[in-house]
Chain A
Amino acid sequence: MAKGLDELAERSAVGRDWYVTSKLAALALCSLGILLLATLLQVSFGAYPLTLGEAWATVFDPAILLNGDVWHAFLLGGDTPEWFTRRQLVVWNIRLPRILVGVLVGANLAVSGAIFQIVTRNELASPYILGVSDGAGLVVLLTLTAFSGLLPLLPVLAAAGGGAAFLLVYVIAWKNGTSPVRLVLAGVVVGTVFGSVQRALFFFIDNLGVVMSAQTWLSGSLLGTDWAQVRIALPFTVLAMLLAFAVTRELDVLLLGEETAESLGMPVEKVRFAVAGIAILSTAAAIAVAGLVGFVGLIVPHMVRNIVGSDSRRLLAGCLFLGPTLLVGADVGARLALSPIQLPVGIITGLVGGPYFLYLMRKKEKLGEV
């Protein structure tokens, strides 16, 4: 009897596991499908139009996909092969890298958003909650106004500015240790001050072009990204993702709250700082190539959690698929909706994100705690 019950329990355990895993698989498949569709749309439309069939044939052209030299040129820098046709050039040198950057940015923002929601135990947290966006934004404005000689280094400087702001937030929040609430409040402090300085700097710009590029940066845009941006973001993205998936058990325990985590023998302060550092690395990689794209890091972890639950490994895996899909999908709208004018992708993600939260607010009674 007892044995029968045990077997039953085991089978139902396997059943639940299978059920949740299949939901994750379905999420991943749907995401990939939509991503593929968005890619084909993005590749075929534009000033040099292609049919969907031509787009498909060019994207999945084995002569390029399986050519080591071409990838060497793309990923390590170098000249595009001379034998490229005009169509291949447009697809592979202009439209596809923009999609790839979108994939990297989406994955980074979604995963780091998920981590920050766990660290702060607040599902309204985003990758920018600990001052990163304001630090990066301030540095961008400073570079554009005062130190225009450093313009080529802008991506790196912005990422560094974000990281510095994060450290400053930690210093402010620290008093015999930190807590999620103290961290969030310190983030507000730093954000308010940096944001004010940043807005003040706008008044020192007398060139409309510079104002435009600053605005594009602050809204987050994939305009003009190419393989150089892929080369900047890819290594940091891979590193951040590997680290993030290595600490999923720590994330699971951190989610139980400080007291319980400490009872289970976790050095909470160290782990929290390390985990936040991983998320900052990830965010910085995204900021460096796309500026401050909003809402992706907020809503993607949210949607994934609603589908697969709060198990960290599944949550991060889901974010890894849904984040790129949402960002690339939004970029299709940003690039094509008002063609020939291209909007920053951050405007589209905001337009999508707002109503999603409205829907959530109406549907759920308890909103806030993870």
Chain B
Amino acid sequence: MAGDHRSRKSGTDDRTDDATPDRSPPTTAVRGTDLVVAYGDTSDPVIDGESIDIPTDEVTALIGPNGSGKSTLLKGLAHRLEPDRGTVLLDGRAVDSFGTKALARKLGLLSQENVAPEGISVADLVERGRYPHCGFFDSLSDTDHAAVDDAIRLAGIDHLRERDVGSLSGGQEQLVWIAMALAQDTDVVLLDEPTTFLDPHHQLEVMQIVETLRDESDTTVVLVLHDIGQAARYADHVVALKDGAVYARGPPESIVTPALLADVFEIEATVVETEHGPRIVPLDPIHDDST
């Protein structure tokens, strides 16, 4: 997990005035072009002809209402759903040209809901993340053990190491799953709704892990978020989806506006500029007949 520690402005999380202070212009880690993604052969495509660029070593948040295609887009990018049309390039190379394990060494995807097997310890579960790095007859190497230790430390679950996963709270368990995805040690990490169903404390824990990942291990992070405020505060880029199409993309300040919230989420809201970025105050749902 070693890498250049980028010198971000320390001691503050105020990024609203200057989102990329001292970085060279971002390159593209993952590029999806004209993607058409559907579940199965027969159903209508959920994503119909969209293109998306994920900038390297930055945090990109996908936001949008239920059913807008966020998870589907994520699965399309991870090659978990084969797009009917269009291409996905990872570091300039088509994802379908990677072997499954080779792809899993470069790109990790943590699904929305995960069920841990009965009677497995935290350390053992995190260790499973090393699967793509191990040959068929290899046992775990020192590198593997080091990666597991790093992931556990980064996720802040050192104290839970020997606990049975079944005995943890929902928030703690989510941190363990994130640690497993981190042990995979990929350049790109895709997280599908990592904070949904968590209490505020664990939501913040997750978002801090995401920040640390970007700042200290040069990892590209894409996450689906339901909390627009979180997206505004932590993401470098926000992509807003509506009905399977990219409605808008850009830095949080330009995306999180009352007009967009009304169009995409069908809510009336005010956006207050604070020192921690834009803050959303939802007021009323907008009904179809009133628009």
Q: Which residues of A contact B (CB under 8 A)?
A: 5, 9, 12-13, 15-16, 176, 246, 249, 252-253, 255-257, 259-260, 262-267, 305, 309-311, 369-370
21 interchain pairs (CB within 8 A)?
A: A15-B162, A176-B41, A252-B128, A257-B115, A259-B114, A262-B80, A262-B100, A263-B104, A263-B109, A264-B104, A264-B128, A264-B132, A265-B100, A265-B101, A265-B102, A265-B105, A265-B131, A267-B100, A309-B120, A310-B120, A370-B118
Given contacts A12-B162, A13-B162, contact A265 B121 (CB under 8 A): no
By the criterion CB–CB under 8 Å, are A9 and B100 in contact? no
Which of B101, B132, B162 has a CB less than 8 Å from the CB of A16?
B162
A260 to B78, CA, bound (A): 12
Give, as a whole number of angstroms, the nearest-CB distance from A309 to chain B: 4
- The yes or no answer to B134 lying at the interface (CB within 8 A) is yes
A256 neighbours in B (Cβ, 8 Å)? 114, 116-117, 125, 128
Q: Is the CB of B131 within 8 A of A266?
A: yes
Nearest B residue to A9 via CB reads B161
Q: Are B117 and A255 in contact (CB under 8 A)?
A: yes
**Cβ contact within 8 Å between B115 and A13:** no
Check if A176 sits within 8 Å of B40, measured CB to CB.
yes
Q: Which residues of B contact A311 (CB under 8 A)?
A: 120, 124
What is the chain A residue whose CB lies nearest that of B99? A265
CB nearest neighbor in A for B140: A249
* Residues of A with C-beta under 8 A to B194: none
Whether the Cβ atoms of B158 and A260 lie closer than 8 Å is: no
* Docked-complex contact B108 and A263, CB < 8 angstroms: yes
Bound-state CA distance A5–B80 (Å) is: 40
Closest chain B CB from A120 CB (angstroms): 13
- The answer to whether A263 and B110 have CB atoms under 8 Å apart is yes
Q: Is the CB of A9 within 8 A of B184?
A: no
Given contacts A252-B128, A265-B100, A267-B100, contact A310 B117 (CB under 8 A): yes
B51 at the interface (CB under 8 A from A): no
Residues of chain B from 79 to 129 with CB closer than 8 A to chain A in the complex = 80, 99-105, 108-111, 114-121, 123-125, 128-129
Which residues from chain A contact B102 at a C-beta distance below 8 Å? 265
> Are A309's CB and B80's CB within 8 A?
no
- Chain B residue numbers with a CB within 8 Å of A16 are 121, 162
Which B residues form the contact surface with A (CB < 8 A)? 40-41, 78, 80, 99-105, 108-111, 114-121, 123-125, 128-129, 131-132, 134, 136-137, 158, 161-162, 180-181, 184
Nearest-Cβ distance from residue B54 to partner chain A, whole angstroms: 17
What chain A residues lie within 8 Å of B134 (beta carbons)? Answer: 249
- Of the candidates B41, B103, B114, the one having the most CB atoms from chain A within 10 angstroms of its own CB is B114
Task: Please determine whether B131 and A253 come into contact, CB atoms closer than 8 angstroms.
Answer: yes
Shortest beta-carbon contacts, A-B, top 9: A265-B104, A309-B119, A265-B101, A265-B132, A259-B111, A264-B131, A310-B117, A265-B100, A263-B109
What's the least CB distance linking B223 to chain A, in Å? 15
A259 to B101, CA, bound (A): 14
Residues of B near A5 (CB, < 8 A) are 158
Complex partner residue of A249 from B78, B101, B114, B131, CB under 8 angstroms: B131
Interface contact A264-B118, CB-CB below 8 Å: no
- How far apart are the CA atoms of A12 and B181 in the complex, in Å? 24
Docked Cα-Cα span, A257 to B184, in Å, equals 17
When C-beta atoms are compared, the residue in chain A nearest to B158 turns out to be: A9
CB distance from B125 to the nearest CB of A (A): 8
Decide if A305 touches B119 in the complex (CB within 8 Å): yes
CA A305 to CA B119, docked complex, whole Å: 8
Q: Within the assembled complex, what's the spacing in Å between the Cα atoms of A15 and B123? A: 13
Query: Which among B78, B109, B129, B161 is the interface contact of A12 at CB below 8 angstroms?
Result: B161
**Which chain B residue has the least Cβ–Cβ distance from A270?**
B100
Residues of chain B lying within 8 A (CB to CB) of residue A255: 117
In the complex, what residues of B have CB within 8 A of residue A9's CB? 158, 161
Residues on A with C-beta less than 8 A from B128 are: 252-253, 256, 260, 264
Least CB separation from B192: chain A residue? A259
Chain B residues with CB under 8 Å of A249's CB are 131, 134
Nearest-neighbor residue (CB-CB) of A308 within chain B: B119
Q: Of B41, B117, B120, B134, which is in contact with the most chain A CB atoms at under 10 Å from its CB?
A: B117
A311–B115 Cα distance when bound, in Å, is: 15
Q: Which residues of A contact B121 (CB under 8 A)?
A: 16, 309
- Collect the chain A residues with CB atoms within 8 Å of residue B117's CB: 255-256, 310, 370
Q: In the assembled complex, how far is the CB of residue B189 from the closest CB belonging to chain A, in whole angstroms?
A: 10
CB neighbours (8 Å) of A369 from chain B are 115, 118
Please indicate the chain A residues that have their CB under 8 angstroms from the CB of B108 in the complex.
263
A6: nearest chain-B partner, CB-CB: B149
Compute how far the CA of A12 lies from the CA of B287 in the bound complex, rounded to whole angstroms: 57
Closest chain-A Cβ to B174's Cβ sits at a distance in Å of 13
Asked if residues B100 and A263 are in contact (CB atoms below 8 Å), the reply is no
Nearest B residue to A252 via CB reads: B128
